[in-house]
């Protein structure tokens, strides 16, 4: 285990001299606020919380922390579901919310430059005025930050059509643990120059440095959109329809799977009046030929234990449907005990098999669960409901979650599709990556020799 130093009064005074008294705190309220995310790993308080306002301040803090062997954990919005921003070794939390400037838009290049603390929804509201948007659309879009999305390679409902965050990051300014500021990537759309350091930093979960500026690629807002809901008599039918829609090259902008538990929760807390059947698909198409795409997709649904279909005719109704989908997690939490959340992905041809196997496993463990996910790219979120006050049952929930991860890996999938590894899923990294994991560790040691950057994440 690495040996880290606790923050002393001298450390506090030195960092305060860098950022000013209003941008540093050791109050109990701030320490608790920055001690956990939405995962199950529990509370880990930092020693201090710092709100830098420039890359110069970030560089000076990291340089000092490296010299003093003090752990540093970057913090976006704290909305992670895998323990990514939790400071499990204490030290400094760098809350990036004050670095929230939209630096500039290169409209002719379809690019925007932002600081890491910019909120996703705020950015897209700004971009909509010029007919552009940043597509990934995570469920936490109302609170998540661009820095957190890049650190986690976040995605969401539109990833099936547009891609994940990594596909939109062109350039990064990052501060290394040594305090050195580097720039990776470029403003060009493509490059064959050198190692892909940009790809290395995206998804690194704050273990290699702190982002201080991000250049994103944008897309034009779609002129035409169409949304429909298809209801099914079985989860298997809905899952099989997903696979056929995708393999038919229809390219939906979003294709979401929701099971009965999820539908019931959304109806109860979002008042949507969805048909309470075994499963439903929520689909959206963008483009100039959406009518024919919708018709073909609905025809495919009708072949798979289909119940009925309903199309959203106006923008307000569409917005309510997507708000309901984004609120699925919170609705399920309000309807049940706080669940253990899974996030796996498999090849699309295996999606139906994964869904059926998950329900079979839950019956074997005598535990209820809900399944919801970005079905169009094979991404399934499982929410396992177990009594956290019952150690035996909660341990059983963790064993079920592990079996689901290993099942996904056996199908050629991944242990995390968009929530990241953090501290919750690092135990699966060796199984997933094999000997390549040692290369990752070597890179980490090279860039962060004292392991001060978000220690305890990604690697055992």
Task: Output the domain CATH number for residue 284.
Answer: 3.40.462.10
Residues 68, 175, single domain; the answer is no
Measured between alpha carbons, how far is residue 302 from residues 229, 250, 289, 351 in Å? 12, 16, 21, 18
Task: Based on the fold, state whether residues 73 and 205 are members of the same structural domain.
Answer: no
Q: How many domains does the chain divide into?
A: 3
Inside any domain, residue 90 = yes
Determine, yes or no, domain membership for 432: no
Q: Are residues 249 and 340 in the same domain?
A: yes
Select from 3, 100, 2, 82 the least CA-distant residue to 36.
Answer: 82
CATH code: domain of residue 120: 3.30.465.10
Q: Do 237 and 117 belong together in one domain?
A: no
* pLDDT at residue 289 in the model: 82
Does 452 fall in a domain? no
Domain co-membership, 165 together with 304: no
Q: Are residues 89 and 113 in the same domain?
A: no
Q: What is the dihedral of CA 407, 412, 418, 420, to 10 degrees?
A: 70
Pick the last residue of a domain from 410, 430, 455. Answer: 410
**Position 152 in a domain:** yes
Supply the pLDDT for residue 275: 96
In this structure, is residue 402 part of a structural domain? yes
Q: Token digits for 21?
A: 């008294």
- What is residue 20's predicted lDDT score, i.e. its pLDDT? 98
| Any domain includes 171 | yes
**Do 55 and 140 reside in the same domain of the chain?**
no
| CATH code of residue 77 | 3.30.43.10
* pLDDT for the residue 218: 98
Name the residue range of residue 123's domain: 102-220
pLDDT per 10-residue tile (average), the chain, 460 residues: 87 98 98 90 93 98 98 94 92 98 97 98 98 94 96 94 97 98 96 95 98 98 94 97 94 96 94 95 92 94 96 91 91 82 95 96 96 95 90 94 98 96 94 97 97 93
User: Looking at 63, 97, 131, which one is the last position of a domain?
Assistant: 97
Kindly provide the b/e burial profile for residues 224-262, where b requires at least 16 CB atoms within 10 angstroms of the residue's own CB.
Answer: ebbbbbbbbebbbbbbbbbbbbbeeebebbbbbbbbebb
Domain end point (choices 69, 97, 125): 97
Q: Is residue 433 included in any domain, yes or no?
A: no
Closest-CA residue to 332 (of 319, 343, 341): 341
Q: Are both 85 and 106 inside the same structural domain?
A: no
- 322 assigned to some structural domain: yes
In terms of domains, do 127 and 248 share one?
no
Q: What is the pLDDT of residue 270?
A: 87
74 and 155 share a domain?
no
Q: Are residues 182 and 157 in the same domain?
A: yes
Site of tokens 């350039």: 171
Q: Which of 387, 262, 394 is nearest to 334 (CA)?
A: 262
Are 132 and 23 contained in the same domain?
no
Amino acid 335: pLDDT: 73
Q: How far apart are CA 149 and CA 121, in angstroms?
A: 12
End-to-end CA separation in angstroms for the chain: 10
């Amino acid at each position: 285990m690495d040996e880290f130093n606790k923050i002393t009064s001298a450390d506090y005074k030195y960092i305060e001299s860098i950022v000013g008294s209003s941008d540093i705190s050791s109050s109990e309220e701030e320490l608790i606020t920055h001690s956990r995310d939405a995962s199950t790993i529990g509370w880990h308080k930092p020693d201090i919380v710092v709100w830098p306002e420039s890359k110069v301040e970030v560089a000076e803090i990291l340089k000092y922390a490296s010299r003093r062997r003090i752990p540093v954990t970057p913090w976006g919005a704290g909305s992670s579901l895998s323990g990514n921003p939790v400071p499990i070794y204490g030290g400094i939390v760098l809350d990036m919310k004050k670095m929230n400037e939209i630096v500039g838009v290169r409209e002719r290049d379809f690019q925007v430059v932002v600081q890491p603390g910019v909120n996703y929804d705020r950015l897209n509201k700004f971009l909509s005025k010029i007919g552009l948007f940043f597509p990934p659309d995570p469920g936490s879009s109302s609170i998540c930050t661009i820095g957190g999305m890049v650190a986690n390679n976040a995605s969401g409902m539109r990833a099936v059509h547009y891609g994940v965050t990594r596909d939109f990051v062109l350039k990064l300014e990052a501060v290394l643990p040594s305090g050195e500021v580097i720039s990776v990537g470029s403003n060009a759309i493509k490059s064959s120059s050198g190692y892909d350091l940009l790809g290395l930093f995206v998804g690194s979960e704050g273990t290699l440095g702190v982002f201080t500026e991000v250049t994103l690629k944008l897309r034009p807002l779609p002129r035409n959109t169409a949304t429909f809901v298809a209801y099914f008599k079985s989860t298997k039918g809905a899952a099989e329809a997903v696979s056929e829609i995708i393999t038919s090259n229809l390219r939906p902008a979003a294709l979401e799977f929701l099971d009965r538990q999820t539908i019931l929760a959304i109806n109860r807390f979002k008042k949507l009046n969805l048909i309470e059947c075994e499963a439903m698909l929520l689909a959206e198409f963008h483009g100039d030929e959406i009518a024919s795409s919708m018709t073909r997709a609905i025809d495919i649904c009708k072949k798979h234990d289909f119940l009925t279909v309903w199309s959203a005719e106006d923008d307000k109704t569409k917005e309510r449907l997507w708000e309901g989908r984004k609120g699925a997690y919170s609705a399920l939490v309000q309807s049940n005990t706080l669940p253990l959340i899974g996030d796996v992905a498999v090849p699309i041809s295996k999606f139906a098999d994964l869904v059926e196997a998950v329900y079979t496993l839950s019956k074997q463990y005598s535990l209820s669960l809900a399944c919801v996910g970005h079905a169009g790219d094979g991404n399934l979120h499982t929410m396992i409901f177990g009594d956290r006050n019952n150690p035996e049952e909660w341990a059983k929930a963790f064993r079920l979650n592990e079996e689901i991860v290993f099942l996904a890996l056996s199908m050629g999938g991944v242990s995390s599709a968009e929530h990241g590894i953090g501290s919750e899923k690092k135990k699966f990294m060796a199984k997933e990556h094999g000997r390549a994991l040692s290369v990752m560790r070597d890179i980490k040691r090279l860039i962060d020799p004292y392991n001060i950057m978000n220690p305890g994440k990604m690697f055992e």
